[in-house]
Structure 1
Amino acid sequence: MLIVLAVLALAGAVFVVRGPLFMAAPACLAVRWDGCLSTENGVVLMTLIGVPVAGLVAWALARHRRAAGVASAWRVSLAEVGMVYGTVPWLWMTLMPGSGAGVVPGRVSLVPLRDLVTMGPLGIGGNLLVFAALGFFAPVRFAALASVARVFALGAGCSVLVETAQYVFQLDRVSSVDDVLLNATGAALAALASRRLWRTTTELPANKPHPVSAG
């Protein structure tokens, strides 16, 4: 049921943004950097095209784990592929250099909530989604992260690294504390959405017998 809902949501999102995606299609199909992976529309298009490949990778991992007798092979494999494939495209777009990259010095905004006014709904929504996949799947894969507070801290830490990279490499972007807050909040909200799937216990391999107590 979750897979069906995810497919429907993906199809709806593609329909809404079909215009910009089709604009990037010629450059991406021609395997040209300019106009494809150097644009946000191109990255989104290539991410959608690569979904079947990600599915095959998850299937291969799950099959290998099932052959090795690992419990919850599908859940673990989908979580691994999901948190990587759902995060890398957002990081790519976040670290995409602006027109003044290498020339304009790094800019920092450390006053909380000041930049939210100028972000607008699209900017706020995008920042919430940067580490949403990581927040959703990480506690599913790792029992040690089965906590909203820990996922929030993970999202904040990853966001700090991204903002630092934007400043150090002079990507013509503003390194803002509000970006960190939104990124971490998006990860935490996504973790809440996957709470019923969390790995709260250490699982034994499927073919490993339980120890029998003496007496």
Structure 2
Amino acid sequence: MEAGERVLNRWQDWVGTFTGVVALTVVALPVAAVVMWVLAHRRSANGAEQAWRRSVAEVGMVHGTVPGVWMILLPGEEPGVVRGALTLVPLRDLLEMNTGQIVGNLLVFAALGFFVPLRFAALASISRILALAAGFSALLEIAQYLWLDRVSSVDDVLLNAAGAGLAAMASRHWWRARSGTPVLSPAA
């Protein structure tokens, strides 16, 4: 049976391929929704403030970030045989990346960037989100190089952080309003 004809028929296909991780992420959506609902209802019953907001943010950042990190940590085609590559020159690899790689790198920490400032007021700034995403991304790139025989690139770190920053900007209205900081009007 060719690889193209095979459709997630072994457990390795589910946990060890990009397609499998995406499929598991979609399959886990109802579970994430139930977890979010249970958390919110338990918090509401205990009189917690912003129970739904906190629950949505926590489940959203975990369910949205774990699959991307999981894909980053998948080993290369020949782990232990072929040594990973390291690229430290900014923007060199970006020119050779296809659209899927660029979009994928932008999405890895997008959920984290969107939801973390909603959940943790201390992290509610674009610069803090960029630093958090860049730090996590650098750790993952180091792991890729040392143990997974994959290409580790500073461009991946830049794209991962940029995706988190863009997502944080998309949710900025909600976390700025919560912190009491006035939200600038479009005319300002």
TM-score (normalizing by structure 1)? 0.78
Deviation (angstroms), 1:105: 2.1
Question: Where does the alignment leave 5 or more consecutive residues of structure 2 unmatched?
Answer: 181-188
- 2:184 corresponds in structure 1 to none
Matched, 1:56 2:68: no
What code does the residue aligned with 1:189 have?
L
Structure 1 position 89 matched with structure 2 position 59: no
1:200 aligns with 2:165: no
Task: State the match for 2:105 in structure 1.
Answer: 127
Alignment match, 2:48: 70
Quote the RMSD (CA, aligned, Å).
1.4
Alpha-carbon distance between aligned partners in 1 of 2:61 and 2:112, rounded to the nearest angstrom? 5
- Which of 127, 134, 146 is 1:149 aligned to? 127
Determine if contact 2:137/2:160 at 8 Å carries over to the other structure.
yes
- Who is 1:209 aligned against? none
The amino acid of 2:48's aligned partner reads: V
Please state if 1:184 is matched with 2:179.
Answer: no
CA drift of 1:23 comes to 5.9
Give how far 1:92 is off. 0.8
TM superposition shift of 1:106? 3.0
Q: Which structure would you say has the larger Rg?
A: 1
Q: Equivalents in 2 of 1:179, 1:66: separation in Å?
A: 40
CA contact (8 A) 2:73 2:140 kept: yes
Instruction: Report how many residues are paired.
Output: 174
Mapped to 2, the partners of 1:156 and 1:34 lie a distance apart of: 30
Superposition deviation, residue 188 in structure 1: 0.2
| 1:40-95 superposed Cα distances (whole Å, 9 cap, x missing partner) | 11110111011000000011110111111111100100100000110001111111
One-letter code of the match for 2:170?
A
Question: 1: CA distance between counterparts of 2:127 and 2:74?
Answer: 29
Q: Is the 8 A contact 2:18 2:71 kept in 1?
A: yes
Q: Deviations over 1:107-149 (max 9, x none)?
A: 2100000000111211111000000000000000000111011
